[in-house]
Amino acid sequence: MPDMTTNTPDRARVRLPGISSRAYEHPADRSALVAMRSLTGFDTVLKKLAGMFSERGIRLFFLGGSVRVSDRQFRHLNDMLRDSAYILDLPDVPELYVIQDPQPNAMAIGFDRPFIVVNTGLLDLLDDEEQRYVIGHEVGHILSGHAVYRTMALILTSLAERIAWLPLGSIALRGIIMALSEWMRKSELSADRAGLLAGQDVDAVKRALMKMAGGTRLHEMDTEAFLEQAREYDAAGDVRDGLLKFLNLLRRSHPFAVIRFAEIDRWAREGEYRRILEGEYPRRTDDGDTSVRDEAKNAANAYRDSWSRSTDPFVGVVRDVAEGAADAGERIFQRFNRRNDN
């Protein structure tokens, strides 16, 4: 069994000045966000929510009911936070709160000044380097601009529960909440990559994900067996199993741990992670020159690659339809550009 007890990386961490979130964002994250924004009324709802709910009110809730991390409270987390912000070159170090909750979880929320909240259940579960990955993961959410949409999802879900007795009101929100939930699951794949870049310890990320699935007894687990489990999950059964996997995810805010484990293992092995550490990554200063059309094509190509690797029968059923839609979308972009040129 591979050694899973190491607590420190085997070399100094590399700083990534000016790194753009495009360097680590999963194409599924970007494409899901584009699809979500295309929902009728989405931007209107976002603007209304931002005006209705005070970010300060949310912050005051945690200021009064949790512990704010500083150089005098949870100092080791404060050091990890500052280190992660330094490595990912986040301009402002966000606030971090620890809240008493046995459920292992963490989140980045807020509109204008996002902050991070970590549950005690997660701290109790993970060692120092695994915690570093989690802090970097949340810093990645903030760098990607995810926090505003995650806050929106929390508010809308709470609002939907309050007006559930109004059928029309509940139905009106359901589509946006489902779209937000789907995007949130995809955004976790991006943040996992950011967490790896911040901690630069692949084993720590894998350990953390295994613990989130099976608890602290790492001596009872094996990385290769866990990866085999991920492959089996991907290929499981027939079309009905694929549909069941989709339905199982509907109420979850995160993808299953085996999927995240397989994704980060592949990203680390295929070279992109190493190239970023060597300085080959897009810079924030070039974000304004990014082509929406190119991003759409990159996302479509990434989905094709993902589908070609997947042996899930359900994926096989929808593959031709989805690829046809992607090709149609590309033709629309080309036709639109020709009209603009004329």
DSSP 237: S
Tell which residue, 258, 248, 263, has the closest CA to residue 209: 258
Element (H, E) at 198: helix 167-199
> What residue type is 235 in one-letter code?
A
Give the Cα separation of 51 and 46 in Å (integer): 9
**Cβ contacts of residue 33 below 8 Å, gap of 6+?**
149, 183, 186, 187
The token pair that represents 37 in the structure block:
């924004």
**Cβ contacts of residue 94 below 8 Å, gap of 6+?**
81, 85, 108, 113, 114, 115, 116, 139, 142
For the annotated catalytic residues, the residue numbers are 138
DSSP string, 267-325: HHHSSHHHHHHTT-S-BGGGGGG--HHHHHHHHHHHHHHHHHH---HHHHHHHHHHHHH
DSSP 107: E
Tell which residue, 40, 26, 337, 8, has the closest CA to residue 203: 8
